[in-house]
Structure 1
């Protein structure tokens, strides 16, 4: 689709194709819950109807074949070398748990991860430290001041200083909070240089940035389809390079596709209809059925890809609009809040605007003056902002405490325009005034 025939994105586009209630401004596409057009909703209902028409036949026989077709589409979209490197799981947290819990650890082994890693994944690492011989090490990173080179060198130093001990390293394609592109290609190369497995958290990936698995050379990568690709939640891709599939002994949860070791099989006899077909990749077969789920979201991927291509004009058109909107929206938010953004080069720009809130975080109540918040109240303040945004201002965006300050993250999307960012910024300005007046304590 050429520029002359490209759709006019913005509010009217959103009203025509998306399902948000009138007056609601969705500034948080990048959160777990996403948002998708009614054409994808129709595909979801169609799958649900098909399941209910013949539940056993669909789940046992029709669904696996359809999932194989979807995996082929995704493999092409992500430039994976082999379709059997791609399986579908509910979400990125499940995918990374699958990778990290399948790896075996010996005393002295380490898991490296970058400061700012998504909380659920950092806690997964903490759990493994509790329950296995593995140790963890965190690579220092301050996203508000450190650039790519600083992070890359810190990452390289950690791997160098612990050479031979680090089993796997975890890093993002795009950090969640604040929302900025990470130098994941360079980090993956460093992992190869040191013989360390790379586990890439691409929760913010497909539909937001281009992913080329053949060029990336990652060992493991996951990416959520329900964040930026316009697929209903829950649905994510788990990529495992063919050379590493022997390390993935089980899906999570372990289910019928698991193949016990021969010494265990000798002690018992499994009689089950879920036997590994001779033509099926054992790794893929494990993920074909892991328990009863909503079969709809994964089978909505073709409808989402068609909408993005036929209605939106393709990935490049979507990315260009969202990045431009994030850039201009960020400037407007800074002006309204009289604050500052995170300083990043335009090469790192994705569909996020990140702006510091005009509130000073102080260590104690004694220090309070003006627009200040005691550190002990930061959790209450975040809860206050989020709830009031949803209930009083008909919008939502993400707030986080990062490097001693509160930051707001706005998601740009094809159904938004600049005045929507203005609405969100003005709401934050009013809420910051309420916080300065301690109204968050009164509620």
Structure 2
């Protein structure tokens, strides 16, 4: 009996990967989805027809780590996977795309060389400066003493960043010189991020509203997704330590269509063209973390993949076939694809384990998932979860991402929080202000 459709492999284990698997499994071209390593939410049976909440194709979690490129490649060969989609940054940094391409397998994501736009903040800042892309004034340091001397004579608030990958936690927003010195010592002397902190970027602190602008890219053409706003700090009012992201909503009402066009023209397109000129064309999702200042948008950082939790807020609004758009990127025909979006907004609230963003306990039972999942226009995306003795338990820092649709961000947020109220695990942390500052 012949195959009915395509087999898709999603690499990663977080809420982003659950959302990607859910979105891809809605495509009528898909026969089965595999998520490696996945989580407690990334396995489900086939459905007779796609719905807003339940995709058509079945999904299965595969116990292969996202960084285990060799075994992922072997699995893709053995299962005749038609397309692999990379979620997190770590396998991109390891060259998973290069390895799959060398084996003649289709994979969506930038090569190791193109992923440097995320894996080296120093590289990205230099690229922005050379391409005229607006970004904060900065200096790059490889030596702790030189960096300390610089901050001691530099007035004003600064941001100190580990240049390499630090799980979204490598940036320190410093109000005082003492805070900047302490950040440098933690990164370069105490090596809290290991090799990722051997080089640091010190930049001026910008004031304004942050924005996440993600786009599909086929090496030349840029197709923006809905603008989103992510909340990195642990506590309400953007206070507390940085995290991988405590919630997001999309679209943002303070970004008009002409603003979006300008950002694509002055930021995303120049970056894509610069990567092509370097001989490392970018194919995948390019994510610009922006600050909307009084002087216009400035780039805080580039990422080389879907954001988390931005993906969980954007993908429920996508009416188009995600697989079709991804294949257009791989085939260099993205310019002929028009993305369709559901009117309204989506808000995502992240539920974190006690102790996050530091060490967290694992194995805490999670209650109320079924009740939340039954709610209309609510999606429960798993992240740090696992199954133990038939129960879903915590298995990481960010445990769940609860997304909800509404006609506007505030209504969407209220629905998301109504779903959150049905879920419980010991020490559960979450912000209570995601999307609620927006006008109705």
Larger radius of gyration: 1
Q: Which structure exhibits the higher relative contact order, with contacts defined as CA atoms closer than 8 Å and separated by 6 or more residues?
A: 1
Task: Verify same fold: TM over 0.5.
Answer: no
Answer 1 or 2: which has greater helix percent.
1
What is the TM-score with the length of structure 2 in the denominator? Answer: 0.29
